[in-house]
Chains A and B, each alone.
Chain A
Amino acid sequence: MSRSKNSEQVLILEPNRIEKQYWKDLWHYRELFAILAWRDVAVRYKQTAFGVAWALIRPFLSMVVFTVIFGNLAGLPTDGDAPYAIMVFAAMLPWQFFASALGSVSGSLMNGVGLFSKVYFPRLIAPAASVITCLVDFALSFIILAILMLWYRYWPTWRLLTLPFWLLVVFCFSMGLGLLMATLMIRYRDLGFVVPFFIQIGQYISPVAYSTSIVPAKWQFVYGLNPMVGVIEGFRWAILGKSATVNSWSISLSLLMVVVLIVAGVLRFRAVEKTFVDVI
Chain B
Amino acid sequence: MDSVGDVVIRVEGLGKKYTLQHQQKERHNTLRDSLSHQAAVFGRWINPFTLSGQIRKARQLADLERAEREEEFWALKDVSFEIRRGERVGIIGRNGAGKSTLLKILSRITEPTTGRVEIHGRVASLLEVGTGFHPELTGRENIYLNGAILGMTRREIRLKFDEIVDFAEVEKFLDTPVKRYSSGMYVRLAFAVAAHLEPEILVVDEVLAVGDASFQKKCLGKMEQVSNLSMRTVLFVSHNLSAITSLCQKGILLDKGRLKKPMTDIYDAVDEYMDSTIGNSAYTIDINPKDKRAWITRAIVSNALDAKSSCFRVGDPIQFDVSYRCNSSIYSIGLGVGISRPSGSRITSFNNYILGIHLPTNSDEQNRIRIVLDDLNLAPGSYVVSLSLVENETQWLDLQTECISFSIVDDGFYIAGRSLTREQGEIWCRPQYVVTSN
Chain A contact residues, CB within 8 Å of chain B = 1, 3, 7-18, 31-32, 35-36, 39, 42-43, 46-47, 114-121, 187-191, 274, 277-278
Contact = CB atoms under 8 A, between A and B. Distances in A.
B108 interface: yes
B354 to A, nearest CB: 49
Interface centre among A8, A47, A115 (most CB of B within 10 A): A8
Given A13-B118, A188-B29, 9 more contacts: A10-B120, A13-B111, A13-B117, A14-B117, A35-B149, A39-B141, A46-B136, A116-B109, A188-B34
Interface in B107-141: 107-123, 125, 127-128, 131-132, 134, 136-137, 141
B111 A35 contact: no
20 contacts: A7-B121, A9-B121, A9-B122, A10-B119, A11-B119, A12-B116, A12-B119, A13-B112, A13-B119, A15-B113, A31-B154, A32-B148, A43-B137, A115-B149, A117-B109, A119-B125, A119-B127, A119-B131, A120-B109, A278-B110
Interface of B: 1-2, 18, 28-32, 34, 104-123, 125, 127-128, 131-132, 134, 136-137, 141, 144-145, 148-151, 153-154, 177, 200
A9 to B, nearest CB: 7
B153 A35 contact: no
A31 B153 CA distance: 7
Contacts of A36: 148
Nearest to A10: B120
Contacts of B31: 188, 190-191
A191 B148 CA distance: 32
A278 B111 CA distance: 10
A118 B124 CA distance: 11
A190 B177 CA distance: 34
B131 A16 contact: no
A120 B153 CA distance: 15
Contact of B30 (A14, A118, A189, A278): A189
B201 to A, nearest CB: 10
> 6 closest Cβ contacts across the A-B interface?
A120-B108, A13-B117, A35-B148, A11-B119, A190-B31, A188-B31
Contacts of B109: 116-120, 277
A18 B144 CA distance: 27
B197 to A, nearest CB: 12
A46 B178 CA distance: 13
Given A10-B119, A118-B131, A43 B18 contact: no
Contacts of A1: 151, 153
Contacts of B110: 277-278
B132 A115 contact: yes
Contact of A18 (B108, B119, B141): B108
Contacts of A277: 104, 109-110
Contacts of B108: 13, 18, 120
Interface centre among B1, B104, B108 (most CB of A within 10 A): B108
A274 B111 contact: yes
B136 A32 contact: no
Contacts of A189: 29-30
Contact of B120 (A8, A43, A115, A116): A8
A117 B205 CA distance: 13
Contacts of A190: 30-32
Contacts of B30: 188-190
B200 A7 contact: yes
Nearest to B129: A118
Nearest to B124: A119
Contacts of A11: 117-120, 123
Given A8-B121, A32-B148, A39 B137 contact: yes
A89 B127 CA distance: 47
B141 A42 contact: yes
Contacts of B150: 119
A64 B318 CA distance: 79
A15 to B, nearest CB: 6
Contact of B114 (A12, A15, A32, A187): A15
A62 B328 CA distance: 89
Contacts of B121: 7-9
Contacts of A17: 111
Given A13-B112, A43-B134, A118 B127 contact: yes
Contacts of A274: 111
A111 B107 CA distance: 21
A46 B118 CA distance: 44
A119 B146 CA distance: 11
A39 B145 contact: yes
B112 A15 contact: yes
A198 to B, nearest CB: 13
A118 B108 CA distance: 10
Contacts of B125: 119-120
Contacts of B153: 1, 31
A130 to B, nearest CB: 14
A39 to B, nearest CB: 6
Contact of B2 (A7, A13, A35, A46): A7
A3 B127 CA distance: 22
B3 to A, nearest CB: 12
A125 to B, nearest CB: 11
A7 B177 CA distance: 36
